[in-house]
Structure 1
Amino acid sequence: MSTPSEQPTNSSFAALRGQLHEAAAEFSGGQDALEGILLGLVDDVDRAVAEPLEIFPVCHHSPASALAMARRLREKQPKVVYLELCEDMAPLLTELRNCRLPVAVQAFASDIDGFPPDWAPLSVVAPITEASAEYQAVAYALDTPGVELVLVDRSSDHVFQWDAPRPPDGETHTAETEPEAALHGEAVGVEIGDLRPRFAELEEHLLRHGKVRHWSEWWHQYVEVPLGDSDHDTYRQVMFLIGSLFRRLAPGQGERVRVDEDRERYMWTRMREHLAATGTDPGDCLYVCGAFHAASRVDEFGVHGTGDFAISPRTATTWQYGLIPSSHAAIEAQFGLASGSVSIAATEWAKNLKRTRVKPYRLEGQAGTKKPSARKAVAKTAAPSPGLAPDAASAPSAGSAFDAATGPVPAPAEDRLSGFLRQPPALHTLDEAELLGWSVDIVRAARRSGYLASTADAIAVFETSILLAAMRDRAKPTPYDFQDAAVTCIEKDSVPGRRDVRRLVEIMMGGDRTGQVGYEALPPLARDVHDRLAPLELNLQQRGVRRALLDMASRPELRACSDVLWMLRRLLPPGAARTVMGERGLGERSIQESWDLSLGTHQRALIELGYEGVSLEQVLEQRLRRTAYGPRATTVEVLAAVEDATLHLGGRRLADELGTRALEVLAGERTVDGAPEVLRRVRGLLAYYRTAEPVLPPWVESFVRTGYAHYCTLLPTAFGDEDATVRQVAAMLGFLFSMESLALSLGCDRTQLELAVAQSHPKDPAKTALLWAAQVQLGTLSRGELRGRCDELLANPLVVPSYPRYLSGFVHALEPVPGLADVVVEAVSNAFGRLPDPVLLPWLPTLITTLRSNAAELAPLLIREAGRIFPARLAALDAWVPPWREVPVEHTAPAASGPRGAALLPLHPDTCDAVAELLGCTDIWATAGEPVAGPTGAALLFTHRATSDALADLLGTGDPWAPAAPAGSAASGVGPRSLTERHPDTAHAVAALLAAP
């Protein structure tokens, strides 16, 4: 650390230095590091007290600091207040009057320039509560005419330049998972008055000897309560001493020490610049900072500092600023405070105001403040500002010297540390009424939460609180003692409700107050959202869930509200806008909707939307572009952006642009991970454009054409890749088969798909079954051959254990080839019918889990087909024969009854003409009673041998002609009689066809 250029010359602390020197000699036996630390503490206090520009050390969210600040401001009435807060947040402080505390001042940057891209978004918050010294200073400066408020800490940009994001430690803490604790998100917290040991052994030592559990309780017991009634000088010297102690006992040189010292150089540089520019007297200024930074030893310290610190320029990052709601739980989680400590501090602040009757400063118009009466308003207007009185400003204060060149010279401060350190601890008497009220209230709250608490438990809590306080060397139980007693006496084995006893005590002590940003302080986008949702007639600023009912049929003006709600559902976190009834899809619009809205609870998220644009449509378009053009964008994400643009923004401009981007991303992908989702979204977009547009957009045609070639190229690799799942390969085939007609009409070649299937050689059983289904679809494998292969699988004992995986492939094949549903039902049924129980039962769980995990969305198609094939009633099951086992009906001769012979000819002349022409016969028609001309009967077979051959082949009877007849037959050669005898089936078939007798 830097050595101060000037050693303190104040002799007021000589006695204290002597005592510490003697103590060091006694404990360490001579001069060593201990003496240097002890005497260095006094030097730090002496130097800070002697500074002409009054330094006011504070501790964040400390009621004692806030009370001392209110007293000092009314007494000193400074003209300039320098505040340790990011200098670029100054314009926001005037909007605090439109909010209900606690709130947080936020700087937000989503588009960063000058920082690593993975840091985005950047967020810095500075929470403000009423029980804090900084709020008292802000309220005084903003509501007092002629007072200037100057923020002197590093800018939000420098926060990330100097202190990169890192795990929680000191000033930066990550919010817990509870909803109220996450109000600040993952923002970096800038804390005014960070005062906590950075030496772990020191904090452990203080907690152990103080008989407390955590740092918040130690601070409350040993600093907060003793300083509550102290005077101004005592308060300052004690806070200087604590800050110096923690600073000197912090770990040595490191990044954290460098950042702390750079912050101090930055603040003193800014203050000296302001003093030089305005000519303000340092005696009329007040510097509010954390006690840790008040005991600084950098060369730039003080108005007469010698250092020459150069402030680095900001980056090109564009920062947005606003106010977001905060809560006690969010502050505790972000800054590593004990649960309930901020609520207890708020209760202590209210008690101190009532006890001391100090009037705090509050911004006019602040939510919860009382409007001043007309008499007080007139008096305040007529009275001159104390800070602007020329006599008071120029006259030296009592007990101080005056130098004509430099102005008032502060008088040496009186040593108040010695008396404070020597005084015994205050023996606060037991306030039985207060403790009894606490005991009764906690029992009442516990009973409402489901605990079986009674009056006896209230008495037990009362007595246990006193006992615990006595064991910890204090006469009056603190809220922490009471909390431990309540947990011990009321909470048993389990928690019956949502809250445990510790949480009930925190609520009873003040609860987790949550702030709210008023309408006037909201960014334009948030105000626009509230204006556009005004027809709903709901108080959306209020926390909690509000039910909105939209009947667009009777109130068409609510359609605009519906559009806003769907965009909010897309942009805000889950729960901010939740639909209960109604849906919105491509080509679908509901006429009635029901919503659960909690915009007041998610006000922070709505405000941060305002940092990205001035309207919801602009923010949504920016986010869709950012998603589509991101370096890791996938085809699925870009298609989802196209769908969102069509649903929420309308028009074709953005959708066509993003669709073209999807085409580029698809062409560059080398994996099939997103194939199922690509297929689903492309089908939806195609169905929408075919019904809503006269022609398909050009990008859709290009996407189908490119996708067809793309997936044909990747298909053989996907079949053999172990990392590619069967669902992904099925989706590829689904894209190829379902888009085939459109792709071929756009110029694609089906041969490419046939070659891709022919080059595929899977080893996985599921993919093998999928390949067979693709071959059936292409016509290279018949359904009969597919059934035969399934029978071979069941007949092979070595393959039976893998049969469920084949079935999984067949089920996935229903995506590209839905016509195979009957074959899949047949395959499953054959397995259940043919396999014995010792084989079937072991792999039955595997079959069920495989189908459930890998093909759950295709099961309805399979079930529907099974319902069509199987009988609907149980009684019909015994006589039921599966369709695949039915025996085809044999062709038999017609019955003797009915018309025969020549009687059939006039009844069916067209049929007779067709058969006669087939056999080469002419002029077969004659008048009634006359014989038919031309050859008849078996003679036709011999005379028209070529025709007979064709007819025999058509009837499937084989070759009807045989070698020459043996000797002694009725005719030489092959006669009709021998032909009919050797081929009776053919003769019968022809006779039946010709209706011959």
Structure 2
Amino acid sequence: MSGSPTTGSPSPTPGSSGSGSGSGEPSFAALRGQLQEAAAAFADGPGALEGILLGMVDDVDRAVREPLEIFPVCHHSPASALAMARRLREKQPRVVYLELCEDMAPLLTELRNCRLPVAVQAFASDVDGFPAEWAPLSVVAPVTEASAEYQAIAYALDTPGVELVLVDRSSDHVFQWDGRHGEHSPEEPSAPADGAPEPEAALHGEAVGVEIGDLRPRFAELEEHLLRHGKVRHWSEWWHQYVEVPLGSSDHDAYRQVMFLVGSLFRRLAPGDRDRVRVDEDRERYMWTRMREHLAATGADPEDCLYVCGAFHAASRVEEFGVAGGGSYVIPPRSATTWQHGLIPSSHTAIEAQFGLASGSVSIAATQWAKNLRRTRVRPYRLDGQGGTKKSRAAAKAAAPAVPTAATETAPDRLTGFLRQPPVLDTLDEAELLGWSVEIVRAARRGGYPASTADAIAVFETSILLAGVRDRAKPTPYDFQDAAITCIEKDAVPGRRDVRRLVEIMMGGDRVGRVGYDALPPLARDVHDRLAPLGLKLQQRGVRRALLDMDAHPELRACSDVLWMLRRLMPHGTARPIMGERKLGERSIQESWDLALGTHERSLIELGYEGVSIEQVLEQRLRREAYGPRATTAGVLAAVEDATLYLRGGRLADELGAHALVVLAGERTVDGAPEVLRRMRGLLAYYRTAEPVLPPWVESFVKAGYAHYCTLLPMAFTDEDATVGQVAAMLGFLFGMESLALSLGCDRAQLELAVAQSRPTDPERTALLWAARVQLGALSRGELRERCAQLLANPMAVPAYPRYLSGFVHALVPVPGLADVVVEAVSNAFGRLPDRVLLPWLPTLITTLRSGAADLAPLLTREAGRLFPARLAALDTWVPPWRAEPSATPPAAGAVGVGADRGAALLFAHPATLDAVAGLLGCDGPWAGLGSEASDGAELVRRHPDTADAWGSLLAEG
């Protein structure tokens, strides 16, 4: 490990530990000479290869000489975290500069109230300065305990007199510079065997991830070369085997120089993507500019500072590099977007999915971190109260400031020895490998695999075999995972998880973080406080069953209101009603809910960015939906209904209802007519039963809707883009709201004129028009039946008969009284059509009725049950009502039948009744005997014998 010291090298200054952070001038002459010889041998002389190799040494030399000590790290690397903890206890810096979005600094103190892993989030729902389709904007920075940045944060926050300064670009600049292009591509999808992603993988949502230490080759050929010659499958495994494990046992100087070298290698061999290079260099200029500004403002000594950044950015070549750097970089201003900040739960799976790491790599890193701590006995830093535990006295004493000790003189060039040393072959730990093999078989049995002791032995031996094939004496977790998949999984996955996932869980599991109550935004805390009467641990992950008996416990009604609003605002599954419903005018007295607030904690936290209470957020969303550029009349009415259901209506419902008039006036299509009809019927029924008078906006909407749909009706009958269901909904609005519209001053002649101007050409709309004319009195039922009979009698029209039936079925929306005619039309088709015509036509009929009469089928079923006999025995003698022979010949004009005579006698016996009927019909005259001097009432009886028969039958029964 130790190279030969360079003659004449000055000894390091006290407190520098030979790191080159003082006035020492480390020399890499030996390494330069070796690389020149290698370049000459492999490239037939000096040239591009020599320039790259020597440039890498120059990058390391430059970074090591910088007075402000640079600490290069790799994200979620146990070796980086271990080296960071060791260096912080040794150096005790007074200022820690951290590569993290500078606007996230106020949230870091809340980490002590959480259980890691969690992610610091910047969120913006309303954008100003970015394209509207980008919204919402979200940036997350996940933090795990086995990460160098957490060690730096914990040290700075819990050590008195230490200042933590975030120096990376703000969340606003992330989108200004990078746009919507992610910087990471997954190595392997983190999904179980059935293809459905794990719920924990979606904890970050669609957020853009920022991290410290994006250390991965951007040159595809280089990564492929490293994986092939390293005999590994993915980058995470290569890093673990060839960098993570060797650096876990190295000293501080070797660690820094190796990380500088790796960062310089990946940077110099990156493809020439100008946009990405520009972003990288701008970030480095940004960070060094911020650090120099802070040093100038506070007067801090660079010797007392530590700069924690990714190894890729540590070996920077920008002009602004270093405390003595030049350049005139000007930090661009932020946009006008308002950003909200908070903490959201994270998980190992979410981090892997966010940053393109191999499945299970973060869990393996956490296990490696625990092993490193036990092996080296290094005491890590941990925030006071982290995860609900208290810091021990030993840890508190270790975290206290200490006087830096002068380090012994060490050789500055540690790369030469590190690169020349042979790989360390760890001895096989049979006990550990045997324990893994037994545990995976036990987990496989629980998962439904037919695993046995023989499989455990096979996994044990196969792990050793794979490690030997890959030139490793000790099997790594990745070797063991491959062996377990080969020996146990066979050809099928019986359960929800495959063997790969079982190994990941066994190695440490997918640890899921939790944001503590004190770190939640006000809205989230308010929700938990209002649901406290349920007595459930809602912050825990999983589903909790809540039973609400509001008749016995009226205080639970407030909980019910919160749960219904959460169901409206949160993702599906957060609050799912099992029993009970909430409709206009209806309230359940007992409810049962499945609650998963802990599982969907991220959504609840992001909801808190929009307001301080769920009522405020719901009102804002309803306004946004109603006043949005794509708002429709049906959508505004839905917002009115939700405002009535969840916010008790009132001012907001009236405001949104008035806005529905404006939206309706601007619509030129009938696409939303069915939804408008359905919601308006429900609102009318509610207001008529719950309110003393109709709200003014309802009356105005009915008047405006009546005129609006009358105007659009002729065009809708011929518009190819309008469906028959939409036209039927228009007629349903006109006929259903007609009485109210006429009472408010509308003219029925407008509807009659609109129907008269309609000229449909297709069968469905023609049948719909016939039904409308029957409703208006322009076509009798007898004439409608006659037209249907003509269609069945015409062989050319028979193939189109199902479409006529579809029109009649849709006509039940505006004219439900035609149900008997529709049943008759279907029955006649089955009775009159021959089999050669009926059988090919039957599938089309069934398809038509199923697609067009799904919600109207109950009406047809009730009507058929009324017309057809209830018993099978009566079917043989049953005669359809539409085929029944009239019982008597209609009386001649001027004659009065027997029923009429009986009815007339009863009417003359009670003249007050006939006077009332005559008055309604506009007839007025004196009574006289029944004869040639018949009164007007008697004349009416003679002219309308059917009416007299009906009156006589009713009065006789009475």
Superposition TM-score, scaled by structure 2 size: 0.90
Cα distance, 1:890 vs. partner? 2.0
Cα distance, 1:919 vs. partner? 3.9
Cα distance, 1:358 vs. partner? 1.0
Residue 70 (structure 1) aligned with residue 73 (structure 2): no
Residue 385 (structure 1) aligned with residue 385 (structure 2): no
The letter of the residue matching 1:274 is: H
Cα distance, 1:949 vs. partner? 13
State the distance in 1 between where 2:109 and 2:807 align: 67
List per-residue Cα deviations over 1:904-947 (Å, max 9, x = no partner).
Answer: 9999995899999554279xxxxxxxxxxxxxxxxxxxxxxxx9
* Partner secondary structure for residue 873 of structure 1: coil
- In the alignment, which residue of structure 1 is the partner of 2:265? 245
- In the alignment, which residue of structure 2 is the partner of 1:714? 712
Identify if the C-alpha distance between structure 1 residues 915 and 230 changes in structure 2 by more than 3 Å, giving closer, same or farther.
Answer: same
1:141 to 122, 141, 156: 156
Identify if the C-alpha distance between structure 1 residues 915 and 699 changes in structure 2 by more than 3 Å, giving closer, same or farther.
Answer: closer
Where do residues 646-665 of structure 1 align in structure 2 (5 Å cutoff)? 646-665=644-663
- In the alignment, which residue of structure 2 is the partner of 1:694? 692
Check the 8 A contact 2:190/2:349 in 1, yes or no. no
Check the 8 A contact 2:771/2:811 in 1, yes or no. yes
Residue 54 (structure 1) aligned with residue 69 (structure 2): yes
Cα distance, 1:385 vs. partner? 2.4
- In the alignment, which residue of structure 2 is the partner of 1:181? 201
Check the 8 A contact 1:67/1:228 in 2, yes or no. yes
- In the alignment, which residue of structure 1 is the partner of 2:914? none
* Partner secondary structure for residue 38 of structure 2: helix
**Bigger mean CA offset, 150-159 vs 22-31:** 22-31
* Partner secondary structure for residue 196 of structure 1: coil
Structure with bigger RCO (C-alpha 8 Å, 6+ apart): 2
- In the alignment, which residue of structure 2 is the partner of 1:883? 881
- In the alignment, which residue of structure 1 is the partner of 2:99? 84
Check the 8 A contact 1:765/1:809 in 2, yes or no. yes
Cα distance, 1:291 vs. partner? 0.4
Residue 618 (structure 1) aligned with residue 596 (structure 2): no
Cα distance, 1:253 vs. partner? 4.6
Residue 199 (structure 1) aligned with residue 219 (structure 2): yes
- In the alignment, which residue of structure 1 is the partner of 2:371? 351
2:633 to 622, 632, 635: 635
Identify if the C-alpha distance between structure 1 residues 600 and 921 changes in structure 2 by more than 3 Å, giving closer, same or farther.
Answer: closer
Residue 763 (structure 1) aligned with residue 783 (structure 2): no
**Bigger mean CA offset, 133-142 vs 841-850:** 841-850
Where do residues 839-878 of structure 1 align in structure 2 (5 Å cutoff)? 839-878=837-876
- In the alignment, which residue of structure 2 is the partner of 1:738? 736
Check the 8 A contact 1:704/1:739 in 2, yes or no. yes
Check the 8 A contact 2:112/2:384 in 1, yes or no. yes
The letter of the residue matching 2:60 is: V
Residue 323 (structure 1) aligned with residue 343 (structure 2): yes
Q: Which runs of structure 1 show a deviation greater than 3 angstroms over 4 or more consecutive aligned residues?
A: 8-11, 167-178, 368-371, 395-399, 903-919, 947-956
- In the alignment, which residue of structure 1 is the partner of 2:233? 213
- In the alignment, which residue of structure 1 is the partner of 2:642? 644
Identify if the C-alpha distance between structure 1 residues 112 and 172 changes in structure 2 by more than 3 Å, giving closer, same or farther.
Answer: farther
Identify if the C-alpha distance between structure 1 residues 473 and 534 changes in structure 2 by more than 3 Å, giving closer, same or farther.
Answer: same
Check the 8 A contact 1:464/1:485 in 2, yes or no. yes
Check the 8 A contact 1:170/1:194 in 2, yes or no. no
State the distance in 2 between where 1:376 and 1:302 align: 34
Check the 8 A contact 2:96/2:162 in 1, yes or no. yes
2:381 to 320, 344, 361: 361
Cα distance, 1:803 vs. partner? 1.1
Check the 8 A contact 1:175/1:186 in 2, yes or no. no
Cα distance, 1:9 vs. partner? 11
Cα distance, 1:760 vs. partner? 1.2
State the distance in 2 between where 1:587 and 1:711 align: 28
State the distance in 2 between where 1:165 and 1:650 align: 41
State the distance in 1 between where 2:598 and 2:364 align: 25
* Partner secondary structure for residue 528 of structure 1: helix
Where do residues 982-997 of structure 1 align in structure 2 (5 Å cutoff)? none
Ranges in structure 2 where 5+ consecutive residues have no aligned partner: 1-22, 192-196, 892-897, 912-925, 947-958
- In the alignment, which residue of structure 1 is the partner of 2:392? 372
* Partner secondary structure for residue 191 of structure 1: coil
Cα distance, 1:326 vs. partner? 0.2
The letter of the residue matching 2:523 is: L
Cα distance, 1:582 vs. partner? 0.6
Residue 288 (structure 1) aligned with residue 308 (structure 2): yes
- In the alignment, which residue of structure 2 is the partner of 1:943? none
Cα distance, 1:102 vs. partner? 0.2
State the distance in 2 between where 1:577 and 1:907 align: 70
Check the 8 A contact 1:174/1:334 in 2, yes or no. no
Give me the identity figure in percent: 81
State the distance in 2 between where 1:51 and 1:37 align: 21
Identify if the C-alpha distance between structure 1 residues 857 and 422 changes in structure 2 by more than 3 Å, giving closer, same or farther.
Answer: same
Cα distance, 1:954 vs. partner? 7.7
- In the alignment, which residue of structure 2 is the partner of 1:128? 143
Check the 8 A contact 2:717/2:758 in 1, yes or no. yes
* Partner secondary structure for residue 198 of structure 1: coil
Where do residues 395-406 of structure 1 align in structure 2 (5 Å cutoff)? 399=409
Check the 8 A contact 1:634/1:665 in 2, yes or no. yes
Cα distance, 1:211 vs. partner? 1.2
State the distance in 2 between where 1:352 and 1:691 align: 72
Check the 8 A contact 2:809/2:852 in 1, yes or no. no
Check the 8 A contact 2:188/2:357 in 1, yes or no. no
Identify if the C-alpha distance between structure 1 residues 907 and 240 changes in structure 2 by more than 3 Å, giving closer, same or farther.
Answer: closer
List per-residue Cα deviations over 1:596-648 (Å, max 9, x = no partner).
Answer: 11111111111111111111111111111111111111111111111111111
- In the alignment, which residue of structure 2 is the partner of 1:113? 128
Cα distance, 1:470 vs. partner? 1.2
Which of the pair has more CA radius of gyration?
1
1:23 to 24, 38, 50: 38
Identify if the C-alpha distance between structure 1 residues 904 and 682 changes in structure 2 by more than 3 Å, giving closer, same or farther.
Answer: closer
Residues matched between the structures, number: 896
2:932 to 913, 920, 928: 920
* Partner secondary structure for residue 801 of structure 1: helix
State the distance in 1 between where 2:680 and 2:789 align: 37
List per-residue Cα deviations over 1:287-312 (Å, max 9, x = no partner).
Answer: 00000000100000000101121001
* Partner secondary structure for residue 85 of structure 2: helix
Identify if the C-alpha distance between structure 1 residues 908 and 370 changes in structure 2 by more than 3 Å, giving closer, same or farther.
Answer: closer
- In the alignment, which residue of structure 1 is the partner of 2:430? 432
- In the alignment, which residue of structure 1 is the partner of 2:175? 160
* Partner secondary structure for residue 139 of structure 2: strand
State the distance in 2 between where 1:49 and 1:180 align: 40
The letter of the residue matching 2:470 is: R
Identify if the C-alpha distance between structure 1 residues 811 and 743 changes in structure 2 by more than 3 Å, giving closer, same or farther.
Answer: same
Cα distance, 1:136 vs. partner? 0.4
Where do residues 934-953 of structure 1 align in structure 2 (5 Å cutoff)? none
Identify if the C-alpha distance between structure 1 residues 95 and 750 changes in structure 2 by more than 3 Å, giving closer, same or farther.
Answer: same
Check the 8 A contact 1:172/1:189 in 2, yes or no. no
Check the 8 A contact 1:172/1:188 in 2, yes or no. no
**Bigger mean CA offset, 295-304 vs 112-121:** 112-121
- In the alignment, which residue of structure 2 is the partner of 1:227? 247
Residue 260 (structure 1) aligned with residue 280 (structure 2): yes
State the distance in 2 between where 1:172 and 1:338 align: 6
* Partner secondary structure for residue 343 of structure 2: strand
List per-residue Cα deviations over 1:85-139 (Å, max 9, x = no partner).
Answer: 0011111111101000000000111122111111111111000000100000001
The letter of the residue matching 2:129 is: G
Check the 8 A contact 2:674/2:730 in 1, yes or no. yes
Check the 8 A contact 1:577/1:596 in 2, yes or no. yes
Check the 8 A contact 1:175/1:185 in 2, yes or no. no
Identify if the C-alpha distance between structure 1 residues 905 and 882 changes in structure 2 by more than 3 Å, giving closer, same or farther.
Answer: closer
Cα distance, 1:804 vs. partner? 1.1
Check the 8 A contact 2:129/2:335 in 1, yes or no. yes
* Partner secondary structure for residue 240 of structure 2: helix
Superposition TM-score, scaled by structure 1 size: 0.87
Ranges in structure 1 where 5+ consecutive residues have no aligned partner: 1-7, 400-410, 894-899, 923-946, 957-997
- In the alignment, which residue of structure 2 is the partner of 1:310? 330
State the distance in 1 between where 2:903 and 2:300 align: 129
Identify if the C-alpha distance between structure 1 residues 884 and 245 changes in structure 2 by more than 3 Å, giving closer, same or farther.
Answer: same
- In the alignment, which residue of structure 1 is the partner of 2:811? 813
State the distance in 1 between where 2:220 and 2:277 align: 16
